[in-house]
Structure 1
């Protein structure tokens, strides 16, 4: 995506309540409001309509990913042992 495109400032208005929440969300995703709005506009053009999917990871998935990446959680010495544990969990 070219970054040397000319910028144009514009004014937008939205309801006051969701703005701080949206700004927190975008910040957690690593974006500021301007970047998030530009992403929305570009994706709308690609999709030829209203887009979207960037989301926060749900807490259970985030915890499981963290445990897996850091070698935490239960370890199994064989596939059979893992499968037995999974079966018991059901």
Structure 2
């Protein structure tokens, strides 16, 4: 099964992921303020399909972007589920 994440900035100031607003959003500029070519954005989002929380980290540096996604574990004995995606701009 292949998973895709569609990210879109909305008028509420949040980045919506697959049409859903995240519960939390944090933005960190990696070099200087308002440098959107070097930025990290972090979100927490409940996944309706699995009933679990997802932690998402979007990192853009030097015109290349990746998205790291981790299923948040309910306890430390569960195995980590972690994926990394190369991001592409959709027109």
Q: TM-score, normalised by structure 1?
A: 0.26
State which structure, 1 or 2, has the greater radius of gyration over its C-alpha atoms.
1
Q: Which one has more relative contact order, counting CA pairs under 8 Å at least 6 apart?
A: 2
Q: Which has the higher strand share?
A: 2
Q: Which has the higher helix share?
A: 1
Q: TM-score, normalised by structure 2?
A: 0.26
